[in-house]
């Protein structure tokens, strides 16, 4: 596992930012990347992490869907569709 950067733990309560209508970042401050290049805290790939700040709402929603699929996959051991 590789730490991306030091940060305090910041639990994410909602998927929408309360100040805007934009999706809230799934980052929870864990920031460790596994051998597949996926963060074990938020389940985003390095590419998705890099794109998050400039992604429009639709792309951010798609990233969140992929994260949820990876999270489900991590508990079942089966590959998720977005990684095939």
pLDDT tens digits for range 7-43: 333 344 445 555 667 899 999 999 999 998 999 999 9
29, 78 in Cβ contact below 8 A?
Answer: no
47, 27 in Cβ contact below 8 A?
Answer: no
DSSP 8-state assignment for residue 33: E
Buried/exposed code over 1-26 (b: 16+ C-beta within 10 A; e: otherwise): eeeeeeeeeeeeeeeeeeeeeebbbb
Residue 75: its pLDDT value, please? 76
Residue 74: its pLDDT value, please? 85
- What the block records as the tokens of 77 is 């051991």
End-to-end CA distance of the chain: 22
């Amino acid at each position: 596992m590789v730490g991306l950067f030091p940060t305090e733990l910041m639990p994410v309560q909602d998927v929408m930012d309360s100040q805007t209508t934009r999706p809230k970042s799934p980052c929870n401050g864990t920031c460790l990347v596994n051998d597949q290049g996926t963060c074990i805290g938020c389940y985003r790939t390095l590419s998705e992490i890099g794109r998050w700040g400039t992604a429009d709402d639709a792309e951010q929603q798609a990233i969140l869907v992929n994260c949820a699929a990876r999270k489900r996959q991590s508990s079942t051991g089966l590959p998720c569709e977005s990684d095939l």
